[in-house]
Structure 1
């Protein structure tokens, strides 16, 4: 199995898609760096800064509109969805362009000064009111979760049969990449053992809450973008953020904030361990598929050192 390559598009093709969508031509279409699975471009339309993401994966942006409305209606600084559509085999999603750059590009001092605000935004997002919805796992365009329980979601997430998705045929990675079957199965059994602590909790999960999806002007957090949106234990997002901001102790900062706000999180350490196994296993197979062998080995060693 070869490493995944996202769709590569010329600016002219993107201009044609935008003209078809809006009925008139946009201005200043330019590629934007980033996005492992999407091709991203910025442009202006009627004086407004916008972003278009494009992907050849089926259903890539099915829930973007629902989630954007859910979060922005509750005052959470998430990018507003301005439109979606299809062009041939490509799906696309258009959103407002939030000022600022990726948090990952800020200096260590800037990251540290913004960490309290980041933890506050994360908490507000995780505690978003979900309305009359049910289910766990992937959020559907209707707002429902795709599975009746968290355990069914994670067993489906790592099942061998992933026909029609990004992970179709992923067991082939055991033969063709650095992905080690014995390591994966050991961590998967540990995940199932800890899942009992995560199962009772149903909240909004961003699903990819890391500093490439967090925007900043260097002084404050300006917005949140993208995500693999799901319902489940919100500590999934903390597990994703942990270790991505250099030497900053994200988990301690999170606990300090919860204590100040009087928020009690039962079984915190067990739930965070379960969340780290869940995100870690997904990252292991992703790094293997992308050919990022060094990142794979580092994460593998970290996971094997977690509690069994």
Structure 2
């Protein structure tokens, strides 16, 4: 059904009528005047007067339950909106994913960050490819943590979980979830077990004088750590993530522990709280890990101001 649209064009201080613009456009198709009259067709219509019904999705090739969305036929005919597990122009690729299982115990943390890393081929540094922030993290025998890596076909070689239970542990607690020696692995189901915890090196060095050494001088003692701790898989210091293999051989890679620290201009946490953040695909999120006696989202609330001394209770 066509609609005859008349647009009144006026000019001047008193808005005197100059002429009327009449268009013979299909219903819901607005008319504009440029060098000539033109009908602006809505999605699903085509032609000079938008009379022709045009649905590019009838010929769409979206795969894996992708949803076709028609767009302006002068550029793209349509786009495929993919389900969570797929990506690509026609949803032809499957995202890599990890399902982390509990080891029949309950793990609770104020926050947890899952790191996905690979090794830089020339420098040997560990490069962060993805990180996911979870608030009020809880993993039990009844649930699991599934992570879908958007627009990534294969898993990274290294996967860590970094947990924060208190603000006084700057590095939190690292667990090595997976160390994949083969490339092109698309999915795994590892378990979060205590044997894969990566302690700070100061937990492993008993000699106080060695612990007090600078990192550069202390690192030469790291070989002994693997020899003396046969079951140890990994540990870390201020610069490295280190690994002990089955033959007690050591390998250390540079790891950026500050990659998830909030920058100063975006640190809204108060009262010396530890601020951790992620920024994935333009979506920024953060959490404040409060010191003792502080609470709320920004650690702005303290119970100290409401404390009552023993002398006040019994009378002085």
TM-score (norm 1): 0.20
Q: Which of the two has higher C-alpha Rg?
A: 2
Q: Which has the higher strand share?
A: 2
TM-score (norm 2): 0.20
Higher relative contact order (CA 8 A, sep 6+): 1
